[in-house]
Amino acid sequence: MLPVELSPRLILNVVDVVFVVLIAYSVYSLIRGTRAVQLLKGLLVLAALTGIAHWLRLTLLSWILEKIWTVAFVAVVIIFQPEIRRMLEKLGRGAPLLRAIGAGEGEQAVGQVAAAVAELARTRTGALIAFERETGLREFAEGGILLDALVSRELLLTIFEPHTALHDGAVIIRDDRVVAAGCFLPLAAQKVLPSHLGSRHRAAVGLSELTDALVVVVSEETGTVSLVADGKLEPAGEPDKLVAVLSERLRDKRKIWGRGDRRRKGGAT
């Protein structure tokens, strides 16, 4: 006989707690590493203060805190609109377990991109290349020159050739096609990056903060190649490593229900 009787109520309570823990963990995973963590800490302090004020029956403080909660809610929605949007998009994409593990068209482009990037780095030609994943980059592509051309090393080298009309701005790649070139990307907040990194790198980080895009940056100044994802910039390493990392991350992010649905979600230009 069990020491505690397993009543339906008890089971439901356990399920209830498990759900709350899972949701809390998911929310934390989604905002981990973003500025929303600071916000969460602020809200926890506010919640603790509110609890204490209620417990001690401090009427005036409770009333003020109530007003602060209302203002804070509106402010949070306005200030963190990009993060909230991104979080909801991530939720919409489903749990990682549901993601397909299979090759996508984007991977075919990876080898060509890596070859172009190696050449651009060698000649110290600045470049900014964004790979679209689940979040549609249409709004950024439409700000540039729409191309819809098959990705090739030669095409990318031509686009980033200095003194040409398309070299300024970013190239956006979806699957195996260059969707657009000369695209303006959103800049990351000033404090996120070391001051020696200029606007090209800031733009790469900025896009990766707002979307799940993978961005490759070649520095004109130093010829170094960086890979940017989820707001983090890291050295891309040798071309072979870049191919491996890009392939893995592109594959990992593909959904189980494939390409057609993603297009309907707003990815198409």
Site for ligand ATP in 200-219 (CB under 6 A): 200-201, 203, 219
Per CB under 6 A, the segment of 1-9, 66-74, 181-189, 237-245 that binds ligand ATP is: 181-189
Report, in Å, the least distance between residue 227 CB and ligand ATP: 14
By rule CB under 6 A, what string of x and - marks binding of each residue 221-260 to ligand ATP? x---------------------------------------
Binding residue (CB under 6 A) for ligand ATP from 104, 106, 169, 231: 169
Q: Which is nearer to ligand ATP, 115 or 204 (CB)?
A: 204
SS3 146: strand
Q: 233, 188 in Cβ contact below 8 A? A: no
User: Is residue 67 packed enough to be buried (19+ CB in 10 Å), middle (13-18) or exposed (0-12)?
Assistant: exposed
The string of DSSP letters for 97-139 reads GGS--S--HHHHHHHHHHHHHHHHHHTT--EEEEE--SS--HH
Site for ligand ATP in 109-128 (CB under 6 A): 126, 128
The string of DSSP letters for 194-259 reads -TTS-HHHHHHHHHHHHS--EEEEE-TTT--EEEEETTEEEE--SHHHHHHHHHHHHHHT--TTHH
Check binding of 142 to ligand ATP (CB under 6 A).
no
Report, in Å, the least distance between residue 189 CB and ligand ATP: 13
User: Is residue 60 packed enough to be buried (19+ CB in 10 Å), middle (13-18) or exposed (0-12)?
Assistant: exposed
Q: Which is nearer to ligand ATP, 111 or 126 (CB)?
A: 126
Task: Report the run of H or E that residue 149 belongs to, with start and end.
Answer: strand 145-150
Binding residue (CB under 6 A) for ligand ATP from 65, 170, 236, 242: 170
Per CB under 6 A, the segment of 5-13, 51-59, 89-97, 167-175 that binds ligand ATP is: 167-175
Interface positions with ligand ATP (CB under 6 A)? 126, 128, 168-170, 184-185, 187, 197-201, 203, 219-221
